[in-house]
Structure formats: structure tokens, C-alpha cells
Amino acid sequence: MRISQKKKALEILTILKQLYPNATCSLDYKTPLQLLVATILSAQCTDERVNKVTPALFNRFPDASSFAQAPREEIEILIHSTGFYRNKAKNIQNACLKIVNDFNGNVPQTMPELLSLAGVARKTANVVLAHGFGIIEGVTVDTHVKRLSNRLGLTKKDNPVQIEQDLMKLIPPPEWEIFSISIIYHGRAVCNARKPQCSECTLAHLCTYFKRNS
């Protein structure tokens, strides 16, 4: 008997929460600004690599004002190993300039205001709101969430915003961020991009990809 998409999503969520009861944001940060910067740096880069870069970066630039006034080249040197460093440095500095000029040096706490910052799309905004301020606005869709949501058959979309909209219809709002974080943990541990470990996956019985390829 085929179960509904919503029931399937809730069963997946239940299993994930049991598998990863301590799942949380993997980025190291102390302030909402540090979280914002770290999340921008995490684009197409591992959290592990970002966490190696940010201690020196945050020691040199402790707040939005210092980032805004910094020589761009100095930021680029410190974040070089995260990839796409020129564009990331530009976005970080422009975001901090706007934070200083428009938000009194404080990271804004609403989705529209965060989306007005350079380098910030819904993924970054969701992370900052959820982990920086405890505000759940949506489902964070990174590469792991995108891949697993499609493999599990929770969406057929490719666009992160459309994937987020599909997932928000299936998962209760209070669970949106824990679903994202747990999916990310599972993507790293079991359902990796090139060689998913389907034989070891406790979600296999619910997985469209597994049923199609078994």
C-alpha cells in the first residue's frame, strides 16, 4: 500500500531524529554575524574547511564594521582556501557595509532584510535565522538536502526555492530546521553523492532512488 507524501516525510523525519539526536549546525560561530559570514563561506565548500579558516578571520575582523572597512585583499587572503574567494570576499564586505549603514551594525532578523544583503539567498537566511536567532522561517536547502529530497522522492524539483516550498508542505513548521540538519548529517554519513550506501540505509524502504535501482 502506497503511503501519502506527508506520511512518508514524517516517517523519514522520525527516523532521522532517532539516528541523529544531537544534530546541529556544523559551523563554528559565536555571534549572528560570524554565522552569516561562515554560511556565505560554506557555499561549495565543506563546513570542516570553513571552520579551519574562520578563527583567524574572526580574530582579525570581529564585527561588521571591521569587515566593511577592511582591505578586500586581506579578506581574500584569509578565506582563499574556501574557494571562489574573490566573490565571497566581495559579498561578505558588501553585506557588512549594508549591515553597518542600514541596520546599525546588527545582523537583521527578518527574511526580507537578510535577503537584501549581498551573497544571501534563502539557504543562508534560513541558517542565520534558525541558529542565530531561533527563528524558523523555512527549510534550509543545501546540496545534501537537494540530493536526498530528490532521491527519497519528496520532490522532483531542481531549484532550491521550489524544493523548499515542496518540503514546507510536507514537514510541520517547528521541524523545518531539524529536518534540514538531520538530512545533511545523513547525506554526509550514508547517502553521499557518488556512492550512496543504500545497503546500510535505514531509509531505504522509503526511498524512491533505492527502489528504482535495487
Q: Which residues of 9-30 are buried (b: 16+ CB within 10 A; e: fewer)?
A: bbebbebbeebbeebebbbebe
Tell me, yes or no, if 166 is annotated catalytic: no
Which 8-state DSSP code applies to residue 125?
Answer: H
For 35, other C-beta atoms within 10 Å of its C-beta total: 23
For residues 207 and 205, give the distance between their C-alpha atoms in angstroms, rounded to a whole number: 6
Cα 14 to the center of its chain, rounded Å: 20
C-alpha cell at 67: 569587515
Tell me, yes or no, if 158 is annotated catalytic: no
Q: One of 8, 47, 98, 142 is an active-site residue; which one? A: 142
Of 99, 150, 145, residue with least CA distance to 126: 145
3-state secondary structure of 87: helix
Q: One of 123, 146, 158, 211 is an active-site residue; which one? A: 123
Residues with catalytic function? 123, 142
